[in-house]
Amino acid sequence: MDERKFEIIIHATDKRFLSRLIQSLEAVVVPENFSAEIQPVTGAEKYFAYDAAMRASDARYKIYLDERAVVTDENFLFELLRIFNSDGRIAAVGTSGALELSTHGISLLSAKRTPKNFRGEVEIADGFFFATQYDLPWRHDLFKDTFFGGQAQCIEFRRAGGKIFCGGDWISFDGENFSFDETARQKFLDEYSKDLFPLVSVIIPTFNRPKYFKEALDSALNQTYRNVEIFVSDNSTDDATERLIATYDDARIKYFRHENFDANDNWNFARDYNNPAAEYVNWLMDDDLFYPPKIEKMIEIYQNHPDVSLVTSRRKVIDADGKITCEAATPFENSCRVDGEAVGNFLFKSFNNFIGEPTTVLIRKKFLRDGDLCWHDDERGFFNLVDMSTWAQLLSKGNLFFINEPLSCCRVHSGIASHWVYTPPLSAIQWVKLIKSAWERKIFLRTEKDIRQSILAWFKYFVERGLELPLARGYHGKEVQTLKKYFVTMAQALSNGYKIELPPVEYSAQDKIKKIR
């Protein structure tokens, strides 16, 4: 290996471009006691040619140049040496790239592109100029001539423990229009997603719904975002779901069956799952669906907006047969970022869950309370308002981002929990607990005007929904009796300085609960 030699390797396909590049290289100043050699290579497969030239050269430093480039800094070799000598872990140097690659996998379109004259470490360096001080095989087994081969080389060097660096504007490039080979992009994401993007846990609790569950599971497996694991907790009374799982050969699925669990046991077992390697979690109810780009698009928002703690989107409503019946209402007309405190204040005065069901939101785990879905302590038992409690927790940590595109489907059918007769009074009860927590902690409800408006809005919203609806259907269970006590407590709070002292909640035996018809 010649430690004082530069090999400049150019994949030549156009004589005019090649001649222009070589002419610009002839003006480059070579450092004293160093030599430089220009080596044009040919052949239809660019990265095979690069690899062959690399193996044939004895130069320590190799510079791979796109023939459409023109060198504009005649002294760039001095700066290149300075960079390599400053840190032995710097394996490759480019002139532009992505500080962080977007989830679509295309550095040229990434939101975090390097600014002009950027100098520093990057995740991906563009392959128009790519200088190395160590040799590593090019992935010509995956890529023939698209720019994804250059991106792949960056990750291969990082896998080997090296760093990728950008050194400055040493070239100009004659090429504004790029065609992105979709097959190559998919290969790149298949091979390198785990190196580039954080792990997402998709959690599916399921019970006696093998048909719906299969559709939900398939929608998780078919995400365009590759780096996911799927945790399934099943308390079905038969083995239909277990037999269904046996037909899948996918290492991403982690399946657990607990035939003796009740609904609460199954839910809490699922929410206790916490893979420390996973940075994100997305719940998927076993009758709901993801659209393919859901996780990819939501991860991208989190990557580009560090102040955002909750990402949601439009969502479709489907019936028992999977037919779209409508789109869930939302106050937003366009994709937007909204102040989390303002959203929380609105929720506590409207009780309108426009954010969505558990399926809708991708959660960044660092914003959760001790990694769990809760905002206050009284949420480990029968708590069917866990989505709103979680949204309150997330909004207390940052802002909301709304994506103006349907990314999930909520299924409405006769078996959903909102059709259970105890749900309206229980939701009203649990909203009081959230109101009490917000007021005492002075989050979302900071002033006496805020708490007064919230209590009055609660009365207006839940007299009909929480009390009249179950009574009209002949249900007089313990939840209804508890709610009556809560009405008294909330009325007293309006005249006693907004002190909310709550009696304990009593629950009816689940096997006696009727469903709303």
> pLDDT by residue (tens digit) across 228-270?
999 999 999 999 999 999 999 999 999 999 999 988 889 889 9
pLDDT tens, residue by residue, 16-72: 999 999 999 999 999 999 999 999 999 989 999 999 999 999 999 999 999 999 999
Same domain, 289 and 379: yes
Angle at 83 between CA 79 and CA 84, to 5 degrees: 120
Task: Indicate the residue type of 314.
Answer: R
Split at pLDDT 50, 70, 90, the class of 370 is confident
Whether 137 and 42 share a structural domain: yes
Which of 417, 439, 462 terminates a domain? The answer is: 417
Residues 365 and 217 in one domain: yes
Both 325 and 427 in one domain: the answer is: no
Please report whether residue 493 resides in a domain: yes
Per-residue pLDDT tens for 477-507? 888 888 889 999 999 999 999 999 988 887 7
Q: Are residues 257 and 144 in the same domain?
A: no
Q: What is the CATH number of the domain that holds 291?
A: 3.90.550.10
Give a yes or no: residue 355 inside a domain. yes
Residues 286, 224: one domain? yes
Structural domain containing residue 136: 2-181
Residue 470 lies in a domain: yes
173 and 57 together in one domain: yes
Worst-scoring range by mean pLDDT, 208-217, 235-244, 366-375, 503-512?
503-512
pLDDT band at 383 (very low <50, low <70, confident <90, very high): low
Give this prediction's pTM.
0.92
Averaged confidence pLDDT in the chain: 92
Q: How confident is the model over 10-20, as a mean pLDDT?
A: 95
The confidence score (pLDDT) of residue 474 equals 74
Q: Do residues 166 and 201 share a domain?
A: no
Grade residue 511 by pLDDT with cuts at 50, 70 and 90: very low
Lowest mean pLDDT among 212-226, 269-283, 421-435: 421-435
Among the residue ranges 91-105, 110-124, 374-388, 503-517, the one predicted with the least confidence is 503-517
List the one residue out of 120, 115, 10, 122 whose CA is nearest residue 70. Answer: 10
Cα separation, 362 vs 306, in Å, equals: 14
DSSP 419: G
Distance from C-alpha of 114 to C-alpha of 105, rounded to nearest angstrom: 15
Asked if the model's pLDDT at residue 512 lies above 50, the reply is no
- pLDDT-based confidence at 187, cuts 50/70/90? very high
- For residues 400 and 303, membership in a common domain is answered with yes
485 and 346: one domain? no
Cα–Cα distance for residue pair 458/491, rounded to 1 Å: 11
Number of folded domains that form the chain: 3
Does one domain contain both 13 and 123? yes
Cα distances from 115 to residues 64, 95, 99, 153, 157, in angstroms, run 22, 11, 10, 22, 23
Calculate the CA 125 to chain-centre distance.
Answer: 23
> In this model, does residue 513 exceed pLDDT 80?
no
Q: What are phi and psi of 265, to 5 degrees?
A: -60, -45
Q: Sheet containing 199-206: give its strands across.
A: 253-257, 228-234, 199-206, 278-283, 363-364
Same domain, 332 and 396: yes
In this predicted structure, the answer to whether residue 516 has a pLDDT above a threshold of 50 is: no
Calculate the alpha carbon distances from 501 to 159, 375, 380 in Å: 58, 18, 20
